Chain A
Amino acid sequence: MKLENNKYFKAVVKEAWPYTVGAVLLALLNISLFIVTGSAWGISGTLLNWGAKLYQAVGGQLQNWFYYSDPARLRALETPFFSHGGSLMNLGIIVGAFLASLAASQFKIRKIKSVRQVIAAIVGGLLMGYGTRVAFGCNIGAFFSGVASFSLHGWIYGIFIFVGAWIGSKLLVKYFM
């Protein structure tokens, strides 16, 4: 019997899962992570780690930066990528998504369609990156994990990310479609 015709293979590997299933699993994963490592799920802190390392790699001096006047922050950059838990987790997310799409034969290099998309990616990426530093996290670290941790900042994040999404929608329709 062909594997691809097996109904369990189809449901689990081939077809998309319901959003609710994803919600439950993500929550259970975050809880498990919290129990096992003592830290909740977060993404953007590691992205800063990557940015700082990149900066140093091209010869940038972070020692003069106010943020890195804290020696602990500077020392944290000395951990090599493959010894850094956060980096392995973020890379894991990328590989996991890659693996899942391959298994369903749905992986495809989706090329850029227009200059508008490039500008949107640049502006959007910069805004997100900068915003995570000001707000102490992203949709995962500050909102998902923050609210789950009963932190007030998580709730503030959840309320105002709505505002940002509303503004972004107006900009998207007007300039980026």
Chain B
Amino acid sequence: MVEYRLDCLGEACPVPLLKTQKKMAELQVGDILVVEVDHSCAMKNVPEWARKEGYNVEIEETGDGEWDIYIEKTK
């Protein structure tokens, strides 16, 4: 199981989600992607997409207006 970090700090909407979608497609089942965002929309639309895909999602606030979104590729 490999953990990858995707730095999306400073990206405008909807770049974090687009980059996440692309990266998740490359992961193996069991891998985890940690997406770093500071966009208030991204902390909503990235987890929403990931959950819809059936992945496990955890979100952690890591700073003022900054979040780490943990996505586990479960299938």
What residues of chain A have their CB less than 8 Å away from a CB belonging to chain B?
Answer: 16, 101, 105-108, 110-113, 117, 120, 173, 177
State the total of A-B contacts with C-beta under 8 angstroms: 31
Contact A105 B10 (CB under 8 A): no
Cα(A102)–Cα(B21), bound, Å: 30
The binding surface of chain A is classed by DSSP as loop
The reply on B40 being an interface residue by CB < 8 A is yes
B44 within 8 A of A: yes
Please tell me if the beta carbons of A110 and B38 are within 8 angstroms of each other in the complex: yes
Interchain Cβ contacts under 8 Å between A and B, 17 examples: A16-B43, A101-B65, A106-B65, A107-B64, A107-B65, A108-B38, A108-B64, A108-B65, A110-B38, A110-B65, A112-B10, A113-B9, A113-B11, A120-B12, A173-B18, A177-B15, A177-B18
Q: Are B43 and A111 interface neighbours, CB within 8 A?
A: no
**In this assembly, does B31 line the interface, its C-beta being within 8 Å of a C-beta of chain A?**
no
Task: Taking A106-B61, A107-B65, A113-B10 as given, write out 16 further A-B residue pairs in contact, using a Cβ cutoff of 8 Å, ordered by the A residue number.
Answer: A16-B40, A105-B64, A106-B64, A106-B65, A108-B38, A108-B63, A108-B64, A108-B65, A108-B66, A110-B10, A110-B38, A112-B10, A117-B12, A120-B12, A173-B18, A177-B15
Given A108-B64, A108-B65: A101 touches B11 (CB 8 Å cut-off):
no
Contacts of B61 in A (CB 8 A): 106
| Chain B: CB-nearest residue to A121 | B12
A80 to chain B, nearest CB (A): 33
Tell me the chain B residues, 13-31 only, with Cβ under 8 Å from chain A. Answer: 15, 18
- The answer to whether B40 touches A101, judged by C-beta atoms less than 8 angstroms apart, is yes
Indicate if B39 sits at the interface (CB-CB under 8 A).
yes
Nearest residue (CB) in A for B19 is A177
